[in-house]
Structure 1
């Protein structure tokens, strides 16, 4: 199969699987450039084989390297890894990721990091890589943290982007919800490398919900939240997006592709949602300046505000589609 035909088959299969569901997918990723290149290195022509690749799609010839992941409590040693993932999310946005990372580490009674499971008989050269953070999940209570630079910057960023991409009624509604001190808003952070399997999202979210319930019971920081704010890494076809009116395309679920596959379920339950382009901020390798069959892909960030009473329904969806 030549490269052009493989590209076409890969894109069509990816889009088809994305909209049908995830029960048949063992590995899911939306970064076409990196993912496609890795598949080409493996000399794989079957898309059915491509989507079964489990781990870090590191390849040595045609050999798959399977990597097991496990969750740990957040610690001081995770600072660099968490900050790197936050920078990947915010890109050039004016958010103090250093302060945000410090807060997440300080409130380590909630949240987890994803690391490679310990391997027996590792060499000394590999010891430095043992603590590498492949992903993390946590929550910043924007209401409790009012006055901190990062919390204020996040709210200002969200509102300014809403003003640029949505109608005035949504801007006013979002502003009211973000600044209502009687109904705290939690900024849900769920970041991982694109090559970590989505199945890990289920236990991570389950554990976070347990921890949040415990903090509420014991009156620790990050207690009850009435809403969850989520910024999701998404992609869309530029051609379709440009044909829509302002604000209209962001509401079309079928046009969005999610870097974290499970976040589509959050999108479905969101009270408010909109997307904005990060094409000019993204790294050219990871950011999405590529095209397949003359259909250019555009990297976005999708902002969602989800009522906390809808989390049970979201968790049920995660169990249905991501249970191993």
Structure 2
């Protein structure tokens, strides 16, 4: 991968929802480095860059995928290996290498080699016989059978069973507190790389994208409607463009530190997942919508 793929993407900012109390658990130290732990009363800025995934990123990518799937029997290490093998498509988010003298703050707060996010797509149709993709397909259908209306279940079965209209599993996962602005260059880069791969005859000519979105719900009570908070803010926009979707609670699957979100300490909020189906040709327009959403247009 050429060096020009590296770019300064954004800065980590203090969580605007945080109060003066420390709501994080000491058990989080056993999980991957968490940006919430880096933000106290002072703003912390960390510069990021996107680059192609490499072999040492495998464990970090697997951990990020586990945040999506939680207890689901999906081999995230195998999926991470697949992502790295197609490193001409997709990006990981990592900390920019400091210019000049290294910062003591960086040494104390961020473990070297930490992967802060992953944005990529996997061809679920072409790779349907690989174990982790078989597991993913089974997981989606199983969840749909339990939670989706019959029309959505039928549509998903048709989409996943039609090898003439390939489906891509779109992954957009990152640590909490990394602002939504970072999603625009990452998705733009992904779109360009998919187009380049298609022009070279590679199997990236998708008809649909399937995506698993994380959000929390404050359930309706005392006459107030339910309120949803998306872990990645731009995914509220993405969900609004879905051609089909269904959702389900994962409250029974989340351990402390497992989901890696600042909302997990709030007992009034229930963790959910939403599986959405997107028309692949809408991706460029979707990126424009996200850009407008972020800029307040």
Q: TM-score range by the shorter chain?
A: 0.7 to 0.9
Q: Give unpaired runs (5+ residues) of structure 2.
A: 1-11, 23-34
The 1:41–1:118 alpha-carbon spacing in structure 2 relative to 1, beyond 3 Å, is farther
SS of the equivalent of 2:248 reads strand
> Which residue of structure 2 aligns with residue 172 of structure 1?
154
Conservation of the 8 A alpha-carbon contact between 2:219 and 2:227: no
Deviation digits for residues 42-87 of structure 1, max 9, x if unmatched?
9xxxxxxxxxxxx767246x43221111111111111111011011
| Distance in 2 (alpha carbons) for counterparts of 1:151 and 1:86 | 13
SS of the equivalent of 1:320 reads helix
Relative to the length of structure 2, the TM-score reads 0.81
RMSD: 2.7
> Which residue of structure 1 aligns with residue 143 of structure 2?
161
Number of residues of Structure 1 aligned to a counterpart in Structure 2: 264
Of residues 78, 90, 114, the one that matches 2:93 is 114
The 1:187–1:259 alpha-carbon spacing in structure 2 relative to 1, beyond 3 Å, is same
The 1:289–1:276 alpha-carbon spacing in structure 2 relative to 1, beyond 3 Å, is farther
Structure (1/2) with the larger helix percentage: 1
Task: Output aligned runs, 1:177-188, within 5 Å.
Answer: 177-188=159-170
Task: Output aligned runs, 1:294-305, within 5 Å.
Answer: 296-305=268-277
SS of the equivalent of 2:163 reads coil
Q: Which has the larger radius of gyration?
A: 1
Conservation of the 8 A alpha-carbon contact between 2:152 and 2:246: no
Of residues 233, 252, 266, the one that matches 1:280 is 252
Conservation of the 8 A alpha-carbon contact between 2:191 and 2:283: no
Of residues 231, 237, 242, the one that matches 2:218 is 237
The 1:67–1:123 alpha-carbon spacing in structure 2 relative to 1, beyond 3 Å, is closer
The 1:197–1:94 alpha-carbon spacing in structure 2 relative to 1, beyond 3 Å, is same
Conservation of the 8 A alpha-carbon contact between 2:119 and 2:173: yes
Of residues 67, 71, 80, the one that matches 1:101 is 80
Q: Give unpaired runs (5+ residues) of structure 1.
A: 1-25, 30-34, 43-54, 244-251
> Which residue of structure 1 aligns with residue 125 of structure 2?
143
